[in-house]
């Protein structure tokens, strides 16, 4: 009897790791309040909830923008958290989850109140800072003198030190970064240069999860979960906070 129990325990020890659900690692290049190392950002929470509804555990992994995209395309990570539509045409190993996560407002920030900008073409007379790996910005600013850096902190440091006339970033994260760095005299130039819906991408090996994730995201929008997460994130930004309770 003892040898039988030992055999059963050994068998369970061998098969349990195979049955255990491994988390999916999703790269993110974004800053609070969109995404954060503590996975408390607005889109972090939306993604966690959507994956949980289909029985999957997703871990958002902070990475530089270019590295996050490459890791997802190579299957090193399981996906990339937030990108514009159509990235699969350039990275065929990626599959777009075709239900919007959030709208991004791309805004120019400056310390010079005299600068007026209405569209991308108006940026050409200026030196512009962007974060490396933002493909939409690289495309829109082709031909414009740009300085690329690896982080949002470095981006606003360019502006603070006068090494760029303007920097372009997503509005909410730009506001929080400016507040966190206690920069003086930085303002957003209205109107936004562009508003783009943003999407989750998965490595092609997870194609079976795409339709269930679309259904989960749509259900979250219908039952109020999505609106609650966004509202809490915006409220925290206004109040200067950094964490939300589920």
Answer yes or no: do 69 and 113 share one domain.
no
Answer yes or no: do 116 and 180 share one domain.
yes
Q: What confidence tens digit (pLDDT) does each residue in 5-34 have?
A: 344 334 334 433 333 468 999 999 888 899
Which residue numbers in the chain have pLDDT < 50? 1-2, 4-20, 241-246
* Torsion angle (degrees, nearest 10) of CA 177, 183, 186, 187: 50
Answer yes or no: do 77 and 180 share one domain.
no
Answer yes or no: do 192 and 215 share one domain.
no
Answer yes or no: do 109 and 230 share one domain.
no
Q: Is residue 59 situated within a structural domain? A: yes
User: How many domains does the chain contain in total?
Assistant: 2
Q: Are 133 and 80 contacting, i.e. CB atoms less than 8 angstroms apart?
A: no
pLDDT at 3 (0 to 100): 52
Answer yes or no: do 79 and 59 share one domain.
yes
Q: Are 112 and 165 contacting, i.e. CB atoms less than 8 angstroms apart?
A: yes
Answer yes or no: do 44 and 84 share one domain.
yes
pLDDT at 179 (0 to 100): 86
Q: Is residue 83 situated within a structural domain? A: yes
Q: Is residue 216 situated within a structural domain? A: yes
> Per the structure block, which two tokens stand in for 131?
């974060």
Q: What CATH number corresponds to the domain at position 141?
A: 3.40.190.10
pLDDT at 21 (0 to 100): 61
- Residues near 181 by Cβ (< 8 Å), separated by ≥ 6? 153, 156, 157, 160
Answer yes or no: do 113 and 179 share one domain.
yes
Phi, psi values for residue 111, rounded to 5°: -105, 0
Q: Is residue 3 situated within a structural domain? A: no
Helix (H) or strand (E) holding 131: strand 128-131
Answer yes or no: do 62 and 175 share one domain.
no
Helix (H) or strand (E) holding 107: strand 102-110
pLDDT at 19 (0 to 100): 35
pLDDT at 144 (0 to 100): 92
Answer yes or no: do 166 and 221 share one domain.
no
Q: Is residue 158 situated within a structural domain? A: yes
| Separation between Cα atoms, residue 134 and residue 156, nearest integer Å | 16
What domain range is 38 assigned to?
A: 21-102+197-239
Q: What confidence tens digit (pLDDT) does each residue in 141-183 have?
A: 998 999 999 999 999 999 999 999 999 999 999 998 888 888 8
Q: Is residue 13 situated within a structural domain? A: no
* Torsion angle (degrees, nearest 10) of CA 66, 67, 69, 75: 160
pLDDT at 91 (0 to 100): 96
């Amino acid at each position: 009897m003892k040898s039988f129990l030992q055999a059963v325990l050994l068998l369970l020890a061998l098969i349990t790791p195979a049955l255990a659900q491994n988390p999916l690692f999703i790269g993110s290049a974004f800053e609070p309040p969109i995404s954060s190392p503590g996975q408390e950002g607005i889109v972090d929470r939306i993604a966690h909830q959507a994956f949980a509804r289909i029985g999957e555990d997703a871990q958002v992994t902070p990475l530089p923008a270019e590295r996050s995209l490459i890791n997802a395309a190579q299957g090193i990570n399981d996906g990339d958290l937030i990108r514009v539509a159509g990235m699969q045409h350039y990275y065929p190993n990626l599959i777009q989850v075709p239900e919007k996560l959030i709208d991004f407002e791309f805004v120019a920030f400056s310390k010079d109140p005299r600068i007026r900008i209405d569209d991308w073409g108006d940026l050409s007379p200026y030196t512009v800072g962007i974060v490396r790996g933002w493909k939409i910005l690289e495309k829109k600013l082709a031909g414009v003198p740009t300085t690329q850096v690896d982080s949002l902190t470095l981006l606003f440091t360019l502006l603070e030190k006068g090494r760029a006339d303007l920097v372009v970033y997503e509005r909410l994260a730009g506001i929080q970064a400016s507040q966190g760095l206690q920069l003086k005299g930085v303002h957003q130039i209205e109107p936004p240069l562009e508003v783009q819906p943003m999407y989750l991408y998965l490595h092609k090996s997870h194609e079976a999860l795409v339709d269930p994730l679309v259904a989960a995201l749509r259900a979250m929008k219908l039952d109020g979960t999505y609106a609650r997460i966004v509202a809490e994130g915006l409220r925290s930004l206004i109040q200067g906070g950094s964490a939300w309770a589920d």
